[in-house]
A and B are shown apart, each in its own frame.
Chain A
Amino acid sequence: MSLVLLYLAGLGAVSGRWLARQHLAAKPWLSAGPSLTLPPDGGTELAAKLALGIFLAVVGLLFALLVAAYGMRVPPGSTGIPLDPRLLWLTTGFLGLASLLLHRAGRAARRGAEDEAHATLLAAVAASLVFLGGQGLAWRLIWEAEAGRTADAAGSFFVLITLLHGLHLAGGLAALARIAVGAAWTGSPARLARSIGLCTLYWDALLVIWLVAFGILFRTPWSGLIDVLCRPPA
């Protein structure tokens, strides 16, 4: 659970830094008057960003718990998952591409190039669907090889992590579809840019989460670091 505690310590540090600026040492019984210290007018956009940030912190913790559980459950000498990792490198590439395309769509929307934004948005959706399809194929291969039910549980974790990650991405796709339809309906480039910005943040976060999960499920250049963080000392 050290990875989880480290994650929580990180969140605690961010929260602590924020709290330190909230005048918690003030003596409210001594001061009267509307001494307003709310953030500048951010309106719904700021609230949506904050909500997404909090949600992503929760999602991050969910996957940190899964990675920690992997570290506690799967023996260090696990035979691993009987799947060609090149398939997953390919799907990872598509998720990264989707993320890049969303960045590009956001830039186009901010320039007011709505048609370009829409086309790039559709390409991002397509890349995400390819990622999901690839993950689904890997899921099926694992299941058919009965690797989801082995005693060392590496295959089971693959099934579980890709399932939960895929569901989160599917939720994001639903939101993205709603944004695309909503923007076409209202025709507001500024609103489109804001919404794409939120989706981009979500996709980036899911990409990072997937890279961490990929790193623990298969040998990748960053697997050693994750092992250090989530394996209990021998």
Chain B
Amino acid sequence: MVDTPIGAAGPFPGSEPDEAELYHPHSWLTRYVFSQDAKVIAIQYSGTALAIGFVALILSWLIRLQLGFPGLFSFIGPAEYYQIITMHGMIMVVYLLTAVFLGGFGNYLIPLMIGARDMVFPYVNMLSYWIYLLAVLVLVASFFAPGGPTGAGWTLYPPQAILSGTPGQGWGIVLMLASLILFIIGFTMGGVNYVVTVLQARAPGMTLMRMPLTIWGIFTATVLALLAFPALFVGAVMMLLDRLLGTSFFMPMIIEAGQRLHYGGGTPILFQHLFWFFGHPEVYIVALPAFGIVSDLISTHARKNIFGYRMMVWAIIAIGALSFVVWAHHMYVSGMNPYFGFFFATTTLIIAVPTAIKVYNWVLTLWRGDIHLTVPMLFAIAFIVTFLNGGLTGLFLGNVVVDVPLSDTLFVVAHFHMVMGVAPILVIFGGIYHWYPKVTGRMLDERLGRLHFWVTFLGAYLIFFPMHYLGLLGVPRRYFEITGLGFIPASAASLNAFISVVALVVGAAQVVFVVNLIRSLWHGVPAGGNPWHATTLEWQTPDTPPRHGNWGARLPVVYRWPYDYSVPGAAEDFVPQNQPSHTAGVAP
């Protein structure tokens, strides 16, 4: 490797706010509440998302209590059940996963990993969080509104979403739609900021092909989100007008309880197209940051350069592009031209190719690595296994002939929970265990972390693996109570009860995680600046936790890619990105 002279690159450009232009907080309120520092905003995003995520976790307990022990809990009636599954799904997909990966990890890691002082537009970034918080509050308000939250299912399909037979038809659906609209406005502010920051504010020497895969994942996912959320926005606004102004975008002519409603001519399928045009890229909006983070965790904790970096980058871009031409595989049972079904089945199978490349490259990175089974590494490996499992069942469901009989069964629930629920949440945990020392300056407790990992990982498999078999038996999803279906054996009820007990245990295990987060703030082992001996820039800050502005007087200069682990001849088994070859003992 050869160092090129620094002078060739100076004076260093970049449009990140420089030290003089950064808004420095002057009070506790502007430092910790209305902060414009991306790191504080990241913690605000993550805290809010995890808090609302715990609400969704409790809702999942209620779902399992009803499915495992039907009739035992009188406070869960059919209406409440549908409200619970709707809120659980929407909160988990949009308000937890999207917010944590992009708002949380994105805000914390983008400026630090690319060597910027902050996001390019810090004020807009702050607004983005507060609008997100407002969206969450509006959503939560629906729990307390007359009639309760909507029970339309997380896909909010019309016409039933706004008809009187659906729980929450009054305030619930209106608040849900308003909350989604706010969320999208807030996200767009943040998303534009992330993209511009990555494109314009990278440190000297940080070319695109020297960016860590975490940044590639977050960056591409942000682009996807900017292009996918408008479809949900349009759908939500149109449904809101149908509900409030009596338009008929989605509402066909309907006779309800003998009365003809004023609706007519609407197309429910149009909503499905809009929803899934958002909905499928949403899978990758969550998955791509997870892919990136896992790549970095594996490389760091296996002390080995990532295998096939270029392929990993190209695969991220290819997956992002392909994710916009597979949406209708969610609509096979809605009916479509058979040629369209063939087209969408084919594109669905094609997207498995770049995804498989990533899985192979993770495994090959682990191959003969110096694997340290730290807690972040455990979560990263667990992700690979889980994502592979969920992805393979996705290949089944991508085919029309398999999807049609399985579509309304628990097989689909098991599939999407493995691939989009458990897998990304394992990465969120892994990422938190990995970067918590940088955020707080202290390590999370290792024993509590391992306990948390094993209960969560094994528990998730005990919940969702048997659920595939229930689905194959034909156990339907969305049903409040499974009775009178003679083809389902009695053992299915026992299995459902078992799954519910495990779900309670796994949910309770998350308390261990929260206790660890809080306890380690004061009692964690001091971490130092770079406890994992990692190469990427966030570990090279002059202060831990990094101060506002991140880099002190001078921005870092990047000399190398982010995966120089175990370089032959180097003084240590890692060479930070900002270290010139001659000081690292690497032969020029």
Given the known inter-chain contacts A35-B207, A69-B234, A149-B246, please indicate yes or no for A28 contacting B317, CB distance below 8 A.
no
List 6 A-B pairs, minimum CB-CB distance, nearest first: A151-B265, A34-B205, A33-B4, A36-B9, A28-B561, A156-B247
Alpha-carbon distance between A114 and B198 when the two chains are bound, in angstroms:
35
Specify which of B245, B305, B321 is in contact with A148 (CB 8 Å cutoff). Answer: B245
Q: Is B200 an interface residue (CB 8 A)?
A: yes
Stretch at the interface among B147-155, B306-314, B369-377, B488-496: B306-314
Q: A65 to B234, Cβ gap below 8 A?
A: yes
> Residues of A within 8 Å of B, CB-based: how many?
56
Flag A147-159 by CB within 8 Å of B: 1 or 0 each.
0111111001001
Q: Is A113 an interface residue (CB 8 A)?
A: no
Task: Give the chain A neighbours of B8 by CB distance below 8 A.
Answer: 34, 36
With both beta carbons as reference points, the residue of chain A lying nearest to B314 in the complex is identified as: A24
> Interface centre among B5, B305, B561, by most A CB within 10 Å?
B561
Q: Is A225 an interface residue (CB 8 A)?
A: no
Quote the shortest CB–CB distance from A157 to chain B (angstroms).
8
Alpha-carbon distance between A148 and B245 when the two chains are bound, in angstroms:
9
With both beta carbons as reference points, the residue of chain A lying nearest to B313 in the complex is identified as: A24
Stretch at the interface among B10-18, B30-38, B42-50, B444-452: B10-18
Task: Give the chain B neighbours of A160 by CB distance below 8 A.
Answer: 237-238, 241, 247, 249
Flag B13-31 by CB within 8 Å of A: 1 or 0 each.
1110000000000000000
Alpha-carbon distance between A113 and B383 when the two chains are bound, in angstroms:
62
B197-223: which have CB < 8 Å to A?
199-202, 204-205, 207-210, 223
> Residues of B within 8 Å of A, CB-based: how many?
74
Task: Give the chain B neighbours of A43 by CB distance below 8 A.
Answer: 13, 15
A125-153: which have CB < 8 Å to B?
148-153
Q: Is B266 an interface residue (CB 8 A)?
A: yes
A1-34: which have CB < 8 Å to B?
1, 4-5, 8, 11-12, 15, 19, 22-34
Q: B314 to A62, Cβ gap below 8 A?
A: no
Given the known inter-chain contacts A22-B209, A61-B227, please indicate yes or no for A69 contacting B238, CB distance below 8 A.
yes
Q: B200 to A47, Cβ gap below 8 A?
A: yes
15 extra interchain contacts, Cβ-Cβ under 8 A, other than A35-B205, A151-B264?
A: A15-B223, A19-B317, A22-B209, A23-B209, A24-B209, A32-B581, A35-B9, A36-B205, A41-B11, A41-B13, A43-B15, A69-B274, A149-B262, A153-B249, A156-B247
Quote the shortest CB–CB distance from B148 to chain A (angstroms).
28
Q: Is B230 an interface residue (CB 8 A)?
A: yes
**Which residues on A are within 8 Å of B, measured CB to CB?**
1, 4-5, 8, 11-12, 15, 19, 22-44, 46-47, 50-51, 54-55, 57-58, 61-62, 65-66, 69, 72-73, 148-153, 156, 159-160, 164
Alpha-carbon distance between A159 and B314 when the two chains are bound, in angstroms:
43
Q: A164 to B205, Cβ gap below 8 A?
A: no
